[in-house]
Amino acid sequence: MNNIILNFLVKNFLKTIFIVVLIFYCFGLILTLFEEIEFFKNTDINFLTPLLLTNLQVPSIIIQILPFIIFISSMWFMARIRNNKDLLTLKIFGYSNFKIFFILAFTSFVLGWLILFIVNPITSTFSIYYEKSKSQFSKDIDHLITFNKNGLWIKETVDSKQRIISAKKPNNFNLIDVTIFHLDVDSNLIEKIYSKKVDIKNNLWKLNETSIFRPVNGILVEEKFNNFEIKSKYNYEKINNLYKNFNTMSFFNITTNYNGLIEKGYSKSFLDQNLHSMLSLPFFLFIMTAIASIFSLSTLKKTENFKLIIVGLITSVSTFYINDLSLALGKIERIPLIISIWVPIVFLSLFAFIGILQINEK
């Protein structure tokens, strides 16, 4: 009988999670599809391309909001078994509120690890393919920035001319070995600029040891400058933020190739933030299930359903705020970055521990 009840709880809980994920996936598909259509509106492609790219992007979004999906799923499942009297039946067979909570929370915990080791590598591969596929349409886009094994590539339109920039990745507000091509509307070369080092701290780039090549009668004539300046829509902060794409980094890749990623140019703080954010996921899922249990199992009255919805919305917003605030404090170095990731987990754990003790007495 215990195995039957256990299978009933786990199977139906996972089924509820699947339904909620499917609902969020549909919403994400619709919202992201509009963005992709806007991106490709000036290109000659069919509808299948933005639809495909949208389907590659949405799974990563689902993982990012998974704690709140688990929270909603847990509240929905427990409210349902409470309303249809299954909760009373479970208690007759000796299942306390604490035992029910622990089974569901442990299921969420295990699900979190499965996502890290199985689903996350797949979604990160999707994100990488998404970026590569989208970069293929750069010729039709006015402004684009991308990274590959050859370094940094930027395309932008400035003063009715196209600018293509290639360089090594940003390093201490500088780009190294920079080549800049200025092309006219017909893609004819106006000038080629080479600089050993470019200060990109601001939008006014400062070029050092610069050579400018301009075509004269079919021959490139070189002119040298010790200092030269150009204006760009990009600066160090904007480029660096674009470089930090968490979705392309898998948990398996970080844990097995940590030192190799640092050698490739990824900052240690970026990798640590990504690693600990992933490590905290199973614990976050466990706690969100615990909080949902506190709200859902505290009463057997069906009339409390509306109250549960309001409380659930407030809790989701509050958790988002606490998590973002803590991470922001870590990024500005008010508190250590790793601690800022785990502080919300610890705070919510204390709240959940007290609440679980109270509902177990009911």
Q: Are 210 and 222 in contact (CB under 8 A)?
A: no
For residues 302 and 83, give the distance between their C-alpha atoms in angstroms, rounded to a whole number. 6
pLDDT of the residue at 260: 76
Tell me whether residue 216 is in a domain: yes
Identify the pLDDT of residue 129: 80
Task: Report the C-alpha gap between 362 and 340 in whole angstroms.
Answer: 35
Domain assignment present for residue 339? The answer is yes
Phi and psi dihedrals of 197, rounded to 5? -150, 135
Quick one: CA dihedral 286, 287, 288, 289, positive or negative? positive
Instruction: Name the one residue in this structure whose structure tokens are 């992007």.
Output: 57
Query: Do residues 257 and 131 both lie within one domain?
Result: yes
The answer to the question of residue 8 being in a domain is yes
Cα 217 to Cα 77, 191, 214, 220, distances in angstroms: 76, 13, 10, 8
Q: Does residue 267 sit in the same domain as residue 210?
A: no
Clarify whether residues 120 and 266 are in a common domain: yes
Whether residues 336 and 260 fall in one domain:
yes
User: What pLDDT shows up at residue 18?
Assistant: 96
Q: At what angle do helices 2-39 and 48-64 cross, to 10 degrees?
A: 130
SS3 22: helix
Do both 86 and 170 map to the same domain? no
C-alpha span between 37 and 348 (Å, rounded): 39
- Is there a single domain that holds both residue 6 and residue 133? yes
For residues 9 and 117, state if they share a domain. yes
- Measured between alpha carbons, how far apart are the two ends of the chain, in Å? 23
Q: Which of 194, 209, 232 is the last residue in one of the domains?
A: 232
What distance in Å separates the CA atoms of residue 275 and residue 252, rounded to the nearest whole number?
10
Do 71 and 99 fall into the same domain? yes
In a domain, 237, yes or no: no
Predicted TM-score (pTM) of the model is 0.74
Q: Is 238 contained in some domain?
A: no
pLDDT of residue 144: 67
For residue 85, report the phi and psi dihedrals to the nearest 5 degrees: 75, 5
Sequence length of the chain is 362
Does 252 lie in the same domain as 348? yes
7 and 105 within one domain: yes
Number of H helices, E strands in the chain: 12, 7
Domain boundary among 190, 205, 232: 232
Q: Distance between CA atoms of 90 and 9, rounded to whole angstroms?
A: 10
Which of 292, 360, 357 is CA-nearest to residue 107? 292
In the beta sheet, which residues pair with residue 43? none
Domain assignment present for residue 55? The answer is: yes
User: How far apart, in Å, are the Cα atoms of 338 and each of 212, 268, 279, 330, 334?
Assistant: 46, 11, 11, 7, 12
Residue 13 is part of which domain span?
2-137+245-360
Q: Please report whether residue 240 resides in a domain.
A: no
Written as one string, the DSSP assignment of 113-177 is: HHIIIIIHHHHHHHHHHHHHHHHTTGGG-SSEEEEETTEEEEEEEETTEEEEEEESPPBTTEEEE
129 and 257 together in one domain: yes
Q: Judge whether 239 lies within some domain.
A: no
Q: Count the domains in the chain.
A: 2
pLDDT tens digit at each of 362 positions of the chain = 578 888 989 999 999 999 999 999 999 899 888 888 877 777 777 778 888 888 888 998 899 899 999 999 998 898 888 878 777 778 777 788 888 889 999 999 999 999 999 999 998 888 878 877 776 665 445 556 666 666 777 888 877 778 888 887 666 678 888 899 888 878 788 899 999 888 988 888 999 889 999 888 878 888 888 888 888 888 877 776 655 566 777 888 888 888 877 766 566 777 888 888 899 999 999 999 988 888 887 665 655 666 766 777 787 778 878 888 887 888 777 888 888 889 888 888 888 888 777 766 55
Decide which of 174, 209, 232 is a domain's last residue: 232
Residues 93 and 20 in one domain: yes
* pLDDT at res. 140: 45
